[in-house]
Amino acid sequence: MGCPPQAARQWSMRSWTVDEARAYLPRLRELVGLIDAALVPGPEPGTQALPAGSEHAEAAIAELHGGGIVLRRLDIGLVDFPWRGPDGELRLLCYQLDEPDLAWWHRPEDGFAGRRPIADITWPA
């Protein structure tokens, strides 16, 4: 099981370092706030949509997409930053807005349930 080809292409656009992703967190919080504030109830029950004229929110989404950042769940501010580990393999730095710092990573196929602490990274020889 691997990451879907579309996702791999998207993530190949940019690979973040842990330090770069941590430095971007204030901007990330601002962008997610812009998107969240612009949402209105969608056509289906339990859905949300951006109304016409939401240029700031659309620009925020474009900035995230341009950086390869994947917004997984807006309701909890769950995002993934593509990252190449020391072994060159694609990993995802995983962050939620309520967390004080970027402290987790996971393999694309493992998802949120497979999060591991950045501080405990051990790589095979």
pLDDT band at residue 3 under the 50/70/90 scheme: very low
Q: According to the model, what pLDDT value does residue 18 have?
A: 92
Structure tokens belonging to residue 89: 């393999």
Span 19-67, pLDDT tens digits: 999 999 999 999 999 999 998 888 888 888 888 888 999 999 999 999 9
pLDDT band at residue 11 under the 50/70/90 scheme: very low
The model's pTM is 0.81
pLDDT of 103 strictly over 90: yes
- Chain Cα centroid distance, residue 13: 14
Span 68-83, pLDDT tens digits: 999 999 989 999 999 9
Q: According to the model, what pLDDT value does residue 7 have?
A: 46
